Amino acid sequence: MTDNDAPPLAVSCGEPSGIGPDIIVSAWQRHRTALPPFICIGDPEQLARRARHLGLDVPVEIADPASAASVFPTSLPVVPLTNRLAGQPGTPLPGNAAGVIEAIDRAVALTLSGETSAVVTAPIAKKPLYEAGFAHPGHTEYLAVLAERHTGQAVRPVMMIAGPNLRTIPVTIHMPLASVPGALSTGLILETIRVADRDLKTRFAIARPRIAVAGLNPHAGEDGALGAEDRAVVAPAIEKARSEGIDATGPLPADTMFHAAARTGYDVAVCMYHDQALIPAKALDFDEGVNVTLGLPFVRTSPDHGTAFAIAGTGAARPDSFIAALRMAARMARALPAAA
Ligand SMILES: NC(=O)c1ccc[n+]([C@@H]2O[C@H](COP(=O)([O-])OP(=O)(O)OC[C@H]3O[C@@H](n4cnc5c(N)ncnc54)[C@H](O)[C@@H]3O)[C@@H](O)[C@H]2O)c1
Ligand SMILES: N[C@H](C(=O)O)[C@H](O)COP(=O)(O)O
């Protein structure tokens, strides 16, 4: 199946005051002939306003997934939200939260029903959503809740940042650093390794993924002298994974596992906390990095950046990471059996 035969990708509009609308309209306006067709779940007027604000000629057309591929060459297809989105670039409004969440919900529902082939999320700002009562740390965790609601199956969502130079996975995600040691367990690390191994095989066509696992402490604990967790918590997860036939190694000192030669030794680095994984990934591949959620019963990707309020509406936002996310979602959806 080619990108043009497959159902379109569903793009949730994200935070309307951030750069989400900028990258959606500029990707469509400048690159649509080289992109898999997508349909945006958002407020058509708000997207048209942002395009005008940026001086981009972007006709916006209300559409549905079935008509999106035929609309896409000439207009940006949009499934309109029930909630309207208001406000100016750079100034988030808690009143937009309902629309931001509706966009995610509908993108997931369309993808689970097979009307769209994957979910690509534009960035959300966490704080205005929290202020409006959103109880989930980010997309990653919320998507797992939606998946569980639809399927009745428990889901372990795993965040992976994937770029041309590096793939990394944080075992613990959106939590204060002080909570990390208490949140880490052998079971959680093992489950994360298992999901990484399975999804790199099924969605990235890596026959036997090589999984490097970072330690938590400096020098992976220096044999217990610099922290007990590496020996007591991380190492047993790696041993168990290896006993299951998974090619996992570690715990490795995190400071020396990301240089160029070290990166040739593995397909993904499993890290113990958010910044241990995301700093090297974004330092190496910020413009082309993609945030992928593994472990879900559908494909979800996202650009690796956030809402960048300071540059929203200025024309400075690069659509590259969003474009990489669209392309990766289309590739992953092709690799996945339709029913999964
Ligand atoms: N997928 C997501 O929904 C997602 C991802 C990351 C951060 N966020 C949220 O975004 C908000 C802002 O986060 P932040 O400031 O830490 O990170 P950010 O990625 O929004 O911005 C970091 C820096 O990179 C620049 N930048 C980001 N994207 C760019 C692009 N496409 N082109 C050019 N420059 C770009 C910004 O101007 C800024 O200097 C927070 O609320 C955070 O929670 C959401
Ligand atoms: N932790 C991610 C990052 O910094 O890129 C970001 O917050 C996105 O997370 P979700 O995809 O879970 O919203």
Instruction: From the CA of 22, give the closest atom in ligand 1.
Output: 31
pLDDT, tens digit, for every residue of 139-168? 999 999 999 999 899 999 999 999 999 999
Domains of the chain: 1-155+297-340 (3.40.718.10), 156-295 (3.40.718.10)
C-alpha separations of 31 from 5, 42, 85, 171, 309 in Å: 19, 20, 26, 35, 23
pLDDT, tens digit, for every residue of 282-336? 999 999 999 999 999 999 999 999 999 999 999 999 999 999 999 999 999 988 6
Count how many Cα atoms sit within 13 Å of the Cα of residue 219 in the half-sphere of its side chain.
Answer: 7
Looking at residue 136, the DSSP 8-state letter turns out to be: S
**Torsion region of 205: left, alpha or beta (phi above 0 gives left; psi -120 to 50 gives alpha):** left
CB 115 within 8 A of CB 255: no
Substitution candidate for ligand 2 out of 119, 291, 296, 299 with most atoms within 8 A of CB? 291
Tokens read off for 207: 């026959």
C-alpha separations of 108 from 40, 87, 164 in Å: 12, 25, 27
pLDDT, tens digit, for every residue of 63-114? 999 999 999 999 999 999 999 998 899 999 889 999 999 999 999 999 999 9
Distance CA 74, CA 59 (A): 7
pLDDT, averaged across the chain: 95
Whether this model's ipTM surpasses 0.90 comes out as yes
CB atoms under 10 Å from CB of 274, counted, come to 18
Which ligand gives the minimal distance to the CA of 161? Answer: 2
Annotated binding site: 139-140, 174, 219, 274, 282, 291, 300
The distance of Cα 295 from the centroid of its chain, to the nearest Å, equals: 12
Ligand 1 residue neighbourhood (C-beta within 6 Å)? 19, 23, 123-127, 139, 291, 302, 305-308, 310-311, 316-318, 321
CB atoms under 10 Å from CB of 320, counted, come to 17
Residue 41, classed as helix, strand or coil, is: strand
Tokens read off for 32: 């649509």
